[in-house]
Amino acid sequence: MLALPRRFAPRLRALRPYSSSTPRFPCVEAHATRESRLASSFSSSSGPEPPYARPNPTSYNVFRSKKPLPLTYHSSSLPTFDVAYETWGTLSPARDNVILLHTGLSASSHAASTSSNPTEGWWEKFIGPGKPLDTNNFFVVCTNVLGGCYGSTGPSAIDPETGVPYATHFPILSIFDMVRAQFRLLDDLGVDKLYASVGSSMGAMQSLAAGLLHPERVGKIVSISGTARSTPSSIAMRYAQRSVLMADPNWNNGFYYDAVPPHTGMKLARQIATITYRSGPEWDARFGRQMRPPPPDTPVAEPRVPALCPDFLIETYLDHQGEQFCLKYDANSLIYISKAMDLFDLTFPALQALRLPEIPLSESQSTSTIDFAPPHSTSHSKSHPPPTNPPPHLSDLAQGLTLLANTPTLVLGVQSDILFTIEQQREVVDALRMAGNDRVVYYELGGVWGHDTFLLDVLNVGGAIRGFLS
Amino acid sequence: MLALPRRFAPRLRALRPYSSSTPRFPCVEAHATRESRLASSFSSSSGPEPPYARPNPTSYNVFRSKKPLPLTYHSSSLPTFDVAYETWGTLSPARDNVILLHTGLSASSHAASTSSNPTEGWWEKFIGPGKPLDTNNFFVVCTNVLGGCYGSTGPSAIDPETGVPYATHFPILSIFDMVRAQFRLLDDLGVDKLYASVGSSMGAMQSLAAGLLHPERVGKIVSISGTARSTPSSIAMRYAQRSVLMADPNWNNGFYYDAVPPHTGMKLARQIATITYRSGPEWDARFGRQMRPPPPDTPVAEPRVPALCPDFLIETYLDHQGEQFCLKYDANSLIYISKAMDLFDLTFPALQALRLPEIPLSESQSTSTIDFAPPHSTSHSKSHPPPTNPPPHLSDLAQGLTLLANTPTLVLGVQSDILFTIEQQREVVDALRMAGNDRVVYYELGGVWGHDTFLLDVLNVGGAIRGFLS
């Protein structure tokens, strides 16, 4: 007699004939069910709406600028704009203990719980008394990014010229535009100089950009799992997300704010994104090849034929992640902000083409005659020595980062990250050191959490930040 | 004065104001345009149809079985089935020079040009006189896989019971079912024993499965960029493709054969697939951060604002790949065959649960008391020695592969492959050696082509095959 199957094996089953009934696809029906539910809530005018459609300024502060914001890619400015923000800790009398915390793509300003919003924040374990961002010492400021949908001005905000949401009339944004808006807030708060600019993922882009736009106003930079120059692979992965989203008929060229939003496109986009946030080894350990449990009403003897809808636990996980997200975030914000990430490039030629008013690019810098410091041999682990003959883009990046030559910078990357790869971390480190920065601290983390490590690994990520900031 | 931007930099441009006109999205309009074109061709009944809807049996042979095919996941059989196939070279009088070539997911039997179909095949440079599959010596047979849409029975075929296409009444398939159908063809051709079973990607799964189902009928096995057990990561990537496809309203639960097919879902799915077929380093070298050239009618002085539709060359590449594919392959075939890949698992518990009639699993094998040979220290490069204390799934896999202990096997993998990772290649090699196979040849290739290396690298992939087969 055969032994019972062991772990990872499908259950023994009596086989069923096929085509015995009309095929059903619960994963597809879920879209239609969601659509009906949302359509009826819209028509009733009192039903639930996406949270981004219900701004709640009692749970965060709003800096409201009446002064136009110049934009990187357009000649016209944003006439007015809001920046939603939250703070933790106490501003010192000298106003010299400020940490500006930058978020990833879809996060709100709610990095940690506050008295006005006690729900957990996205970096709850990193912010507070005695924590890596120690509020006994620091005054931490986190904003919802320009272009976002959690209180800051973005495509879902009302265009003052028309009285209706901007939708895709919203201007193309750059990471620099986002940082520019943040510094307007700092001006308003009377903060001349940041103790540190800290960010992970897209927040790391902003963190570097802040230092570059205002070298004299940024004391230290922390760049975790970020990049100085988006690569084709990461552009491809974000492009795939935008494509499925924009193909949703509900997207309607971005004009959906008076109708049911593109929830199906958002779910599909989030599923793709989730693949890039974690790593294979983690899923091997967590899900392996396990199947979802049978529905509770299934008779024990009922045979199981594999389904075309989610069947493996990894599939139900992706499905769940998409389902949870699809109404929590504004589709146009996702499109605009992910595009800003694609456009991010701190190499000298790219910066030069943008002609940012904050960044003076002298003629001497525009030539390739700068004598770069050779990368230190200690730039990272022995098995990955810095290039002795750097490729052109690395020299271009070093040239672009010369304004950061004197800013102490912590770079931290994760070897299992497939979105912001470890090679990109090394590139930032090499370029900074080539630009003459001898105060670059660099750590590579192992582990299986991939890009999401920055959200999860308080011990290692938090420890590196704590050490660098103190 | 600023110097002109150099490589990779956007052109200098006079900035344009935003929201000056109604936003347009050519990449979204393309879906609607394709829809209109297809809808009118369907209504005219004489217009172009997808190629899979126009079988052309003059360009390939068809083996037509009237004997039912037992299925892995169903109690009922496929009552009749076709297998489309092509051959190259000459069958020897002893019928002992046959190479069965297995395809990847979406390929047809047209691996190389023939007199009846002179267009280039998908492995044109690998098959012919003096080529790696040397038709001076070998008789090469390639089939369109069961479940496919290029002449073999799949979801788009007519169900004899209803007179209309199976659609999603088609049974769930396994890789074993596909191989079973191929051996029916071999029976029909009077081929008792294969000189070799050769395949890449999904074809490598079939290649291993063929050896396992019929150890006595398979002389040698070639497994290139395959796996013996699909991992959660690869399932996730295929799941994302199926999800976007099934969310296309045209998919209609699979019943679209008398209407416009889900071309948008297919395009989006192919874009995702393309990301998994190549590698970051190749795209870095080939596309970098270059933008698409401006449309030909753009005045030279016209400024350029980044677009939300494809703008970087990597985006236009993905767009093009999706566009080329979206009408060339049947959506249901993609869904069924990709699911069969997910289900593939040669570990002993998984095989045991399937109770395949071809594979006798004796009681002694069902216990864990088999004394595995320790993996050879030469199993692969020194930097990746085989585990001295193998994880449970590796022991399970070795136990599942015991029937291959005496089959010479070539395993070849590519270090930049993100779909069938190099770890999976090593797993196959370690398991085979643990099962007692001391005729395993293993190569790891470098290079930047990722999973697609098997289609491109005639020198290294072809050379390894040539050496192993001779």
CATH 1.10.1740.110 domain span(s) along chain A = 234-294+307-343
Question: Homologous superfamily of B61-235+346-469 in CATH?
Answer: Alpha/Beta hydrolase fold, catalytic domain (3.40.50.1820)
What class, spelled out in words, does domain A61-233+345-469 have in CATH? Answer: alpha beta
Q: Which helix (H) or strand (E) holds A400?
A: helix A392-400
- To the nearest whole Å, the CA of B451 is away from the closest chain A CA by 15
Of the candidates A2, A84, A287, which has an alpha carbon nearest to the alpha carbon of residue B236?
A287
Residue of A nearest to B162 (CA): A19
For position A365, what pLDDT does the model report? 54
The Cα-based distances of B31 to A203, A243, A252, B262, B432 in angstroms read 34, 11, 13, 10, 47
For position A188, what pLDDT does the model report? 98
Q: Buried b vs exposed e over B3-35: b needs ≥16 C-beta within 10 Å?
A: eebbebbbeebebeebbeeeeebebbebbeebe
Of the candidates A141, A95, A144, A128, which has an alpha carbon nearest to the alpha carbon of residue A330?
A144
CA–CA dist A286, A290 (Å, integer): 9
Yes or no: say if A23 and B254 are a contact pair by the CB < 8 Å rule.
Answer: yes
- To the nearest whole Å, the CA of B181 is away from the closest chain A CA by 18
Residue A141 β-bridge partners: A87, A100
List the CATH code of the domain at A234-294+307-343.
1.10.1740.110
Instruction: Please compute the mean of the pLDDT values over residues A154-158 and round it to a whole number.
Output: 97
pLDDT above 70 coverage of chain B, percent? 87
Sheet holding A440-445, edge to edge: A61-65, A81-88, A139-143, A98-102, A196-200, A221-224, A409-414, A440-445
CA–CA dist B224, B196 (Å, integer): 13
pLDDT digit string (tens) for A320-356? 999 999 999 999 999 999 999 999 999 999 999 999 9
pLDDT digit string (tens) for B119-178? 999 999 999 999 999 999 999 999 999 999 999 999 999 999 999 999 999 999 999 999
The Cα-based distances of B462 to A319, B128, B138 in angstroms read 40, 12, 15
For position B52, what pLDDT does the model report? 74
CA–CA dist A101, B149 (Å, integer): 53
Q: With bands split at pLDDT 50, 70 and 90, how would you rate the model's confidence at A20?
A: low
Q: With bands split at pLDDT 50, 70 and 90, how would you rate the model's confidence at B45?
A: low
Yes or no: say if B44 and A102 are a contact pair by the CB < 8 Å rule.
Answer: no
pLDDT digit string (tens) for A376-416? 444 444 344 556 778 888 999 999 999 999 999 999 999 99
**Choice among B417, B430, B452, B457 that is catalytic:** B417
CA–CA dist A239, A33 (Å, integer): 27
For position B88, what pLDDT does the model report? 98
Question: Hey, what are B469's tokens?
Answer: 């087969």
Yes or no: say if A12 and B361 are a contact pair by the CB < 8 Å rule.
Answer: no
Catalytic annotation on B201?
yes
CA–CA dist B276, B451 (Å, integer): 7
Q: Is residue A11 over pLDDT 80?
A: no
CATH 3.40.50.1820 domain span(s) along chain B = 61-235+346-469
Of the candidates B77, B74, B69, B340, which has an alpha carbon nearest to the alpha carbon of residue A15?
B74
Yes or no: say if B77 and B70 are a contact pair by the CB < 8 Å rule.
Answer: yes
Contact B287 A232 (CB under 8 A): yes
Q: Pairing state of beta strands B196-200 and B139-143?
A: unpaired
Instruction: Please compute the mean of the pLDDT values over residues B214-239 and round it to a whole number.
Output: 97
Tell me the HSE value of B322 on the side-chain side, using a 13 A CA sphere. 32
Predicted ipTM of the assembly? 0.90
Q: Is residue A77 over pLDDT 90?
A: yes
Of the candidates A45, A106, A56, A52, which has an alpha carbon nearest to the alpha carbon of residue A259?
A45
Contact A247 B268 (CB under 8 A): yes
Yes or no: say if A344 and A230 are a contact pair by the CB < 8 Å rule.
Answer: yes
- DSSP annotation string for B59-111: SSEEEEE-S-B--SSBSSPBSSEEEEEEEES---TTS--EEEEEP-TT--S-S
For position A56, what pLDDT does the model report? 77
Q: With bands split at pLDDT 50, 70 and 90, how would you rate the model's confidence at A212?
A: very high
Please identify every residue of A annotated as catalytic: 201, 417, 451
Average pLDDT over all residues of chain A? 89
Q: Which residues of B are less than 8 Å from A244 in CB distance? A: 244, 268
Question: Hey, what are A253's tokens?
Answer: 């060229």
CATH for B28-55+237-295+305-335, among 3.40.1020.10, 3.40.50.300, 3.90.550.60, 1.10.1740.110?
1.10.1740.110
CA–CA dist B321, B105 (Å, integer): 16
Of the candidates B317, B327, B323, which has an alpha carbon nearest to the alpha carbon of residue B286?
B317
Q: Which residues of A are less than 8 Å from B355 in CB distance? A: 2, 12
Handedness of CA A159, A162, A167, A172 (dihedral sign): negative
CATH 3.40.50.1820 domain span(s) along chain A = 61-233+345-469
Task: Rank A243-257, A295-309, B368-382 by mean pLDDT and report only the highest.
Answer: A243-257
- To the nearest whole Å, the CA of A322 is away from the closest chain B CA by 11
For position A451, what pLDDT does the model report? 95
CA–CA dist B417, B444 (Å, integer): 11
Catalytic annotation on B380?
no
Q: Residue A469: CB partners within 8 Å, gap ≥ 6? A: A99, A132, A133, A134, A138, A195, A196, A220, A222
Q: Is residue B369 over pLDDT 50?
A: no
Q: Pairing state of beta strands A221-224 and A196-200?
A: parallel
pTM here?
0.91
Yes or no: say if B146 and B154 are a contact pair by the CB < 8 Å rule.
Answer: yes
Yes or no: say if B431 and B442 are a contact pair by the CB < 8 Å rule.
Answer: no
CATH 1.10.1740.110 domain span(s) along chain B = 28-55+237-295+305-335
Residue of A nearest to B72 (CA): A15
Instruction: Please compute the mean of the pLDDT values over residues B325-342 and round it to a whole number.
Output: 97
Q: With bands split at pLDDT 50, 70 and 90, how would you rate the model's confidence at B371?
A: low
Q: Which residues of B are less than 8 Å from A237 in CB distance? A: 275
